[in-house]
Homo-oligomer: A and B are copies of this chain.
């Protein structure tokens, strides 16, 4: 299912709401291939919810054919109970990626915010607005999907220095698009 010319799939892991966003860097103008939220019924037993998330993510990977997966690093959750729940969901996502032969990179929330807004402590709403503008979407994606799209763009951006990223011409990558969108934002 690994496709070297496929998009980057961002995953914001969670059991109640798992955000996903696949972005293709088409010649410098990033394009959203798919995004949304995978959720499992709160009332279902935990094992069934994890198995459902795994099935959904496996189907998503098969459909999107990503070249890489960018997953939010979950080392600094507020409390242990949340950390375990996010750990369970992220473990499922990582195993799905490995089975499909897709390389995974972790990014901290700050790295992601910095990449798409130029500001590591940006608010959720700022990330949503910048993701909407960078990808030319009609409306702002919901928060978890916006985070996942931002993760994908963060990878497309930072990975440029360490790996060949498809057909993007040198110097016309996300950095230029981010700078342009930020300039537009600043000019409003």
Contacts and interface: CB of A to CB of B under 8 A. Distances in A.
A45 B77 contact: no
B77 A80 contact: yes
Interface in A75-104: 75-77, 79-81, 83-92, 94-95, 97-99, 104
A46 B96 CA distance: 12
A54 interface: yes
A66 to B, nearest CB: 13
Interface string A95-128: 1011100001000000000000000000000000
Task: Specify how many copies of this chain sit in the oligomer.
Answer: 2
Contact of A98 (B47, B74, B83): B47
Interface string A123-152: 000000000000000000000000000000
A51 interface: yes
A45 B106 CA distance: 12
Nearest to A80: B83
A87 B98 contact: no
Contacts of A84: 74-75, 77, 83-84, 86-87, 90
A90 B86 CA distance: 11
Given A51-B95, A54-B95, 5 more contacts: A50-B98, A54-B99, A76-B80, A84-B86, A84-B90
The 3 closest A-B pairs by CB, nearest first: A87-B87, A88-B91, A51-B98
